[in-house]
Amino acid sequence: MDQGAEYAKSLQHGLASLSAGAQEQHDPKNEFAFELVPSQHIDELTFPTTFHFQTPEGAIFHTWSWTASLIIGVCMTSLCHKDDQWQELDSSATDSATQNICMSYEYAANLKPLGAQFLQLPLICAFFVCCEEVKNWILRKINLLVSELHIYYTREFLEPMAASILGNLG
């Protein structure tokens, strides 16, 4: 179990390092680069800053790597639930991944309807681990992403969907 926990921590650290390195680079030729910018919506209080990605491929890469980090955190919490130290570390990584996924919404919204669909699974995974305020935010925003496709998510649909993806990982 200790080797698995160490590997999971190492993997989460590696994923975080990739994202941090891409955020620090301001090379317009780096398709994985991104930057933190103020939200275009002045009424956005939950996430007043957002990510602007250099390319859709970079957005997909980062949001899915943050989702992988979140999944690793859920798995390790389930496997090591007696280890309080892991839960503290994991909670931090999971919270950071959730925040980063949500801060990617505005970029995805500019690609809708079909181009924005890469963010559905990351948002559903974030829904599983976040607080009530962010769950309400995700529910609103995911419906805005899919509205032109005539899809409507309800809490009663998202909760079991998120649980079916992440709830049985332990």
* DSSP designation for 46: S
- What angle (nearest 5°) sits at the alpha carbon of residue 128, between those of residues 122 and 131? 110
Q: How many CB atoms lie within 10 A of CB 35?
A: 14
| Angle in degrees, 0-180, between the axes of helices 56-79 and 2-24, rounded to the nearest 10 | 160
The one-letter code for the residue type at 115 is G
- Report domain extents, the chain: 2-27+55-166
pTM assigned to the model: 0.84
- Indicate the range of 33-37, 81-85, 137-141 predicted with least confidence: 81-85
The sign of the CA dihedral 130, 136, 141, 142 is positive
pLDDT digit string (tens) for 154-163? 999 999 999 9
Q: Distance (Å, rounded) from C-alpha 129 to C-alpha 91?
A: 9
pLDDT digit string (tens) for 16-65? 666 666 565 666 777 888 899 999 987 778 999 999 999 999 999 999 99
